[in-house]
Amino acid sequence: MWSADEVAGLCYTHYSTKLPKQGKPDPNRQWTLLAAVVKVESATEREACLNVGNLQVTKEVVAMGTGTKCIGHARMRKTGDILNDSHAEVVAKRSFQRYLLHQLWLAASHQQGSIFSPGTESGKWKLKPHITFIFFCSHTPCGDASIIPMTKPEDQPCELVSRKDPTRHSAECSGNHDPVGPENKRKMEETARDHVIKRIKTVIGDSTCEVTERIAAQYVPGNQQNIQDTDPSCSEFITDGQREILMCAKETGLIGTKVMDVYRTGAKCVLGERDDARRPGVEYHHVGLLRVKPGRGDRTCSMSCSDKLARWNVLGCQGALLMHLLQHPVYLSAIVVGKCPYSQEVMRRAVIERCQHISFLPDGFHVQEVKMLQSNLQFKHSRHAIQTAHANGKAKLVPCGAAISWSAVPEQPLDVTSNGFKQGTTKKGIGSCQTRCGGGPGSVRWNFSMYSKG
Query: Which pLDDT value is given to residue 314?
Result: 98
Is 278 a residue whose pLDDT tops 70?
yes
pLDDT in tens, 83-102: 889 999 999 999 999 999 99
Residue 243: CA count within 13 A, CB half-sphere: 10
Contact by Cβ (8 Å): 229, 215: no
More confident residue, 166 or 42: 42
Is 40 a residue whose pLDDT tops 60?
yes
Tell me the residue type at 72: G
Is 38 a residue whose pLDDT tops 60?
yes
Is 451 a residue whose pLDDT tops 60?
no
More confident residue, 117 or 179: 117
Distance CA 222, CA 224 (A): 6
Query: Which pLDDT value is given to residue 72?
Result: 77
Distance CA 453, CA 266 (A): 44
Is 259 a residue whose pLDDT tops 80?
no
What percent of the chain has pLDDT above 70? 66
Query: Which pLDDT value is given to residue 445?
Result: 53
Is 16 a residue whose pLDDT tops 60?
yes
Distance CA 278, CA 249 (A): 18
Is 172 a residue whose pLDDT tops 70?
no
User: H-helix or E-strand containing 108?
Assistant: helix 88-108
pLDDT in tens, 306-327: 999 999 999 999 999 999 999 9
Cα separation values, 351 from 221, 310, 356, 369, Å: 30, 4, 10, 9
Is 36 a residue whose pLDDT tops 80?
yes
Q: Is residue 327 packed enough to be buried (19+ CB in 10 Å), middle (13-18) or exposed (0-12)?
A: middle
Residue (of 137, 105, 97, 102) closest to 439 by Cα position:
97
pLDDT in tens, 377-394: 999 999 999 999 988 888
Catalytic residues: 89
Is 103 a residue whose pLDDT tops 70?
yes
207 DSSP β-pair partners = 204
More confident residue, 58 or 259: 58
Taken in order 337, 342, 346, 348, the sign of the CA dihedral is: positive
Query: Mean pLDDT over residues 2-28, rounded?
Result: 96
* Span of 4-18, 126-140, 198-212, 242-256 with lowest mean pLDDT: 198-212
pTM for the structure as a whole: 0.76
Contact by Cβ (8 Å): 135, 334: yes
Distance CA 83, CA 90 (A): 10
Query: What's CA 334's distance to the chain center, in Å?
Result: 13
Judged by DSSP in three states, 17 sits in: helix
Query: Which pLDDT value is given to residue 193?
Result: 37
Contact by Cβ (8 Å): 28, 368: no
* Span of 193-207, 266-280, 286-300 with lowest mean pLDDT: 193-207
More confident residue, 195 or 304: 304
Distance CA 73, CA 63 (A): 27
Range ranked top by mean pLDDT from 170-179, 307-316, 424-433 = 307-316
Looking at every residue in the chain, the average pLDDT score rounds to 77
Confidence at 444, pLDDT banded by 50, 70, 90:
low
